[in-house]
Amino acid sequence: MDQPLHLALGLTDDELDRIRQTLGRDPNPNELAMYAAMWSEHCSYKSSKVHLRRLPTEGPQVLVGPGQDAGAVDIGDGLAVVFKMESHSHPSAVEPYQGAATGVGGIVRDIVAMGARPIALLDPLRFGPLTDERNRFLFSGVVAGIGGYGNCIGVPTVGGEVHFAEPHGANPTVNVMCVGIAQADRLVTSAREVHEGSLLLLFGAATGRDGIGGVSVLASRTLEEGSEESRPSVQIGDPFAEKLLIEASLELVERDVLEGLQDLGGAGLTCAVSESAARARMGADLDLDAVPLREPSLQAFEILTSESQERMLAIVRPDRLEEAREVCARWGLSSAVVGSLRAGGGLTVRLGGNVVAEIPARSLADEGPEYYRPMEPPLGVDEVLDDDPTFATVEVAPEAALRSVLTSPNIASKRWVWEQYDSLVQGGTVLGPGADAAVIRIEGTLKALVLSSDGKGRYGALDPYLGAAHAVAEAARNVSTLGAKPLAITNCLNFGNPERPEVMWQFAESIQGMADACRALETPVTGGNVSFYNESGDSAIWPTPVIGMLGLIEDYRLLVRPGFSGSGLPIYLLGETFPELGGSEFAEVVLGTLAGRPPALDLDREALLQRLLVDAAAADLLDSAHDCSDGGLAVTLVESAIAGDTGFAANLPGDVPWYVTLFSESASRAVVSVAPERADGLEELAVARGVPFSRLGETGGPRMVFDGLLDLAVEDVRGLYEDAIPRLLAG
Amino acid sequence: MTRRPRIGVITFPGSLDDRDALRSVRFMGGEGVPLWHAEHDLREIDAVILPGGFSYGDYLRTGAIARFAAVMDEVRTFAARGGPVLGICNGFQILCEAGLLPGALIRNRQLRFVCRWVDVRVESSRSVLTEGLASGEVLRVPVKHGEGQFVAGAGDLRRIEDEGLVVLRYCGRDGAVDDAHNVNGSLDAIAGVRSEGGNVVGLMPHPEHAVDPDLGPTGGQPMFASLLASALARV
Amino acid sequence: MKFHCSVDVRLKPGLLDPQGKAIEGALPAMGWTNVSDVRVGKHVEFYVEARDQTTAVAQVHEMAERLLSNPVIETFAIRGVEAFAGLTFEDRP
Amino acid sequence: MKFHCSVDVRLKPGLLDPQGKAIEGALPAMGWTNVSDVRVGKHVEFYVEARDQTTAVAQVHEMAERLLSNPVIETFAIRGVEAFAGLTFEDRP
Ligand SMILES: Nc1ncnc2c1ncn2[C@@H]1O[C@H](COP(=O)(O)OP(=O)(O)O)[C@@H](O)[C@H]1O
Ligand SMILES: [Mg+2]
């Protein structure tokens, strides 16, 4: 309790010294609170920045790279796609429904702040095993919260993923990605000209004591089990207010009355105002008396750092103020001028006529500390990698093994999740959840965006470099499988405590893996989010970089779906299967082991496979295509059969054990089916592209036959696959 | 045809499928006319759609606040003169709250939002939504709602059934009505009802998301065709 | 004068209450087998500025009837309309 | 013995109540400009079979805490636990 204030707020002694140097005096408590919020890990990226610089961020398609509210990519026709992913794991661990709901709200405002209309959401999620009641509570609460918010604001949730693993029990991982679209020349970025004397117009919800200290306390300090203090920081989302906020913001953009637009998220008003001023290379006056409050008598630091949801800050020329406020009023939103920009770099905050804080805006927004934290591989890494399960003795029968893998909640259908999401609103959804990637067409064109999100928990736990590289490769493959060209990624990097050298090592390795894969696949990183401190006691989550991939298909009528359709179509495996069971679903659920080396990833082969998939689709050669990943070839074939309600007969090569063929998770593979008359064309193209392939068999009939091994009715297997998660939830 | 029917679509605060309804009206050959909740003006439309969404967040009760909107006075007058009025999802809920349709919609039996393609069976062709459709015809359309369970008091329900006010029921592909296909637990698997005059219709499924073949099944096409024809008949 | 008002809204008896049913369904697993007829309603609280209590009650009645409840499926009860002396947030200077 | 029990569940003070806010925002357009601070809560009613009232109250308390309210964002109040002599729906022959 008698801890010095700066320490209690999460600032270190060194950081306090820097503040003193900048100000030339001791900061007052308001100023400390502002620094604490802005220099928190969450806002300043102080532990991650030095590593993030290694990521490739450039390419002809990139309009806006990292550093803005969200990245933007050129898709032609004068259109820009804006997308970003963010974590709301800490709040969701405390109150799953509201934590997840407000997470959706936050990322949507990031997209809107760029002047883009949000057109899709994806929700990569990770929980502890569903056999535990608390995990079921968190899982169903988070899913309901994402649906509750996303459905109510009219943005379709079209994809995501759900994984279950013990390390994500105490600390579930809740990421949400939002994708928006804008006229490229209307994007609201810091490149806009901003004038001295322009007004800061705060609009949307009133400010309450929400998430006060949320940034520094909730996001930057490790959650202790049963921690009571963080509870009052829970916030209630108001999706109705958000919907109005979206419409009002976009109308302001449309009418071109804005010089700037900022969402209010972490560090609230402090962040929005200091960033607006710093980006404009100006200073600002901020009048806290003008801020509409929800509760009486908030103190200055509370108003400054409140994270009340559903608020935005616009920079408006005085002569357009009237119009801007009318737009807000028409949408039923209150608005208030809370300050203005001025020359010089100072941010002066007043309350009741008194100056309560005076700080150079840039020192808050841009001059936060940067740490190169110590890193060290955890003990025993090599032993775990060497303990490879690939040639373990397997005593399970093929059918039992397939059942175990298919009913593992990591593999089983996530229908229970995505049926709770409106995936159709806005009328652009060509392909919703349940396929390799989601497809959203762009109104007025034949183009469509193809979206996928992927993280590789187990691989990352065994080898963080490979885990990250695989995540990029799989996300890109998911997109290519449908025939779309991967363009760029966003990401959310979920890790434990960066002050622990093992965690920092995992982080650095993951960044390297992501960087290498992004370079090879020509998908630059346009933005993302880092979420540290995902641990309680000494158990951290698995290092979990989650990749959000944006792809583009020029003519959505040519997209290739995963389901087998019709009989007598030759089935091919593109790519090669190697004996690689390390870190596989099979190893975990059948052999009960998490060890070994994750599958190798040859990025050149991966790029070749993906090019083949895209070119084959463009040439209209493929009848179906499905990416081969978690659960291996067996799961891929079964999913294609279920999706298309069509069985198959497949021959398995005899030179490797059946479980390697069926369940190895070798990278750079896909299963396709083709009309018989197109088979030669596909083979020629594969040869030309340098992709090995093998003919597996043929589609048709109501049964799935793996020659000499398995013979199952599609309908029965569908039941297993669809019911697994509902069954687990029934307890 | 001298002119295309003008179909108004009202935007309430929190309406979500308003643009989608307008797009589908145009797709089906009508003229889409955006209407604003706060205006006492229906802009000489020939039919009006109350679209899906979460008006006023669906807080308190679905449709409870929207039914007080200024434009609802005009909708009432328009309906009383026999004008075609279609409420989709949230629009259906608003029409029930406004007393223009019988019954009410409460939380789904499973207490979860559900977004799913379903089959519905036409029960009555005496409505602006189903004119020209045969009873028993099965159409594939999506539902997406958290509060779509149709309920009514015992007396009201009897009247609804006796007077043939049920327009659509949830069913299987073959048209069979059973509990397994009752997606939200509605009484008598009711998916849509009409007014006595047949000019006011409400349904929970979203026909506007089932007209463009590039996006999926097209069970919404005949419904929109019927609405447009009814609207045209008034021109 | 300011009145603190409180209104209960209940689903009509004959109607099935999905929330109540869900609670009933969860009870046995928690060890309670002696609970029945769970019904979940709403209660709404607010302040009304009015000349006197009769006026306030009349207004609360009208609000409850027209807005807070749907007569097709719900009933309401005014639980209290009481003079309130304190300051609410909106009274701030 | 059978007890009729009734529990109120409210959002904790200080937390945003989106429902209350939306109702409040809509009231002026309906002609009510004198209403403020609208908060919407739940109230749950049910019957408990118990030896005596003390036992019943203890159980209602535990149910309210564990099942009927979400302690992270809500508070609850037991409004009543009263001996009930009539027949409930489930007692019907
Ligand atoms: N949380 C979720 N929200 C929405 N869709 C989901 C979610 N989890 C999984 N899905 C959908 O289910 C399908 C299968 O997911 P996944 O097995 O992760 O796909 P893949 O292995 O092809 O990346 C995908 O279409 C995905 O978008
Ligand atoms: Mg995946």
Q: Which residue has the tokens 């032609």?
A: A76
Q: Which chain A residues touch D38 with a CB distance below 8 Å?
A: none
- Parallel, antiparallel, or unpaired: how do β-strands A693-699 and A648-650 relate? antiparallel
3-state secondary structure of B116: strand
Nearest-Å Rg of the Cα atoms of chain A is 26
Active site residue B208: yes
pLDDT at residue number A217: 43
Active site residue A88: yes
Across chain D, what does the average pLDDT equal?
Answer: 90
- Mean pLDDT, consecutive 10-residue segments, chain A of 731 residues? 80 96 95 93 93 96 89 96 96 95 97 97 98 96 98 98 96 98 93 91 93 49 40 79 98 95 92 93 96 88 92 96 97 96 95 95 94 93 84 89 97 98 98 96 96 97 97 98 98 96 97 98 96 90 98 97 96 96 95 93 98 97 97 98 97 86 97 97 97 97 94 97 96 74
Q: Give the Cα separation of B189 and B166 in Å (integer).
A: 10
- At C90, the pLDDT band (50, 70, 90 cuts) reads low
pLDDT at residue number A219: 38
pLDDT at residue number A191: 79
Q: Give the Cα separation of B226 and B228 in Å (integer).
A: 5
Nearest CA to ligand 1 atom 18: A161
Q: pLDDT, tens digit, for every residue of B17-76?
A: 999 999 999 999 999 999 999 999 999 999 999 999 999 999 999 999 999 999 999 999
The distance of C22 to chain A (nearest Cα, Å) reads: 13
Contacts of B195 (CB under 8 A, 6+ apart): B79, B100, B101, B165, B201
The distance of A587 to chain D (nearest Cα, Å) reads: 39
Listed as own residue / partner, the contacts of D62-70 with beta carbons closer than 8 Å and 24 or more positions apart are D63/C27, D63/C32, D63/C35, D63/D7, D64/D7, D64/D9, D66/C30, D67/C23, D67/C26, D67/C27, D67/C30, D68/C23, D68/D7, D68/D9, D68/D42, D68/D44, D69/D7, D69/D9, D70/A95
pLDDT at residue number D30: 86
Q: What are the percentages of helix, strand and coil residues in chain D, rounded to 5?
A: 35, 40, 30
The distance of C69 to chain A (nearest Cα, Å) reads: 21
Nearest residue in A to D11, CA atom: A236
Contacts of A47 (CB under 8 A, 6+ apart): A41, A371, A373, A498, A499, A504, A507, A530, A532
- At B145, the pLDDT band (50, 70, 90 cuts) reads very high
The pTM (predicted TM-score) of the whole model is 0.95
Q: Environment class of residue A274 by beta-carbon count within 10 Å: exposed (0-12), middle (13-18) or buried (19+)? A: buried
Contact A438, A450 (CB under 8 A): yes
Q: Which residue has the tokens 């792809």?
A: A551
Closest CA to A183 of A79, A64, A72, A73: A79
Q: Give the Cα separation of A707 and A155 in Å (integer).
A: 45
Q: Which chain C residues touch D10 with a CB distance below 8 Å?
A: 45
pLDDT at residue number B147: 97
Read off the tokens for A229. 């203090």
Closest CA to A373 of A42, A35, A49, A55: A49
Read off the tokens for B151. 């309920």
Q: Give the Cα separation of D32 and A116 in Å (integer).
A: 37
D73 at interface of B, judged by CB pairs closer than 8 A: no
Beta-bridge partners for A490 = A527, A548
Q: pLDDT, tens digit, for every residue of C26-55?
A: 898 888 999 999 999 999 999 999 999 999
Chains sharing 3 or more CB pairs under 8 A with chain B: A, C, D
Mean pLDDT across the stretch D47-67?
A: 94
Mean pLDDT across the stretch D7-21?
A: 92
Q: Do B104 and C70 touch (CB under 8 A)?
A: yes
Q: What angle do CA D75, D79, D82 make, to 5 degrees?
A: 145
How does DSSP classify residue B214? Answer: G
Nearest CA to ligand 1 atom 8: A161
Q: Left if phi > 0, otherwise alpha if psi is -120 to 50, otherwise beta: which for C3?
A: beta
ipTM of the complex: 0.93
Q: Which residue has the tokens 């026709």?
A: A77
B60 at interface of D, judged by CB pairs closer than 8 A: yes
Q: pLDDT, tens digit, for every residue of B106-127?
A: 999 999 999 999 999 999 999 9
Across chain B, what does the average pLDDT equal?
Answer: 96
How far apart are the CA of A546 and the centre of ligand 2, in A? 10
Comparing CB atoms, the residue among B19, B115, B212 nearest residue A421 is B115
C12 at interface of D, judged by CB pairs closer than 8 A: no
Comparing CB atoms, the residue among D18, D22, D25 nearest residue A236 is D18
Q: Give the Cα separation of B84 and B198 in Å (integer).
A: 8
Give percent of chain B above pLDDT 70. 99
Q: Do B156 and C72 touch (CB under 8 A)?
A: yes
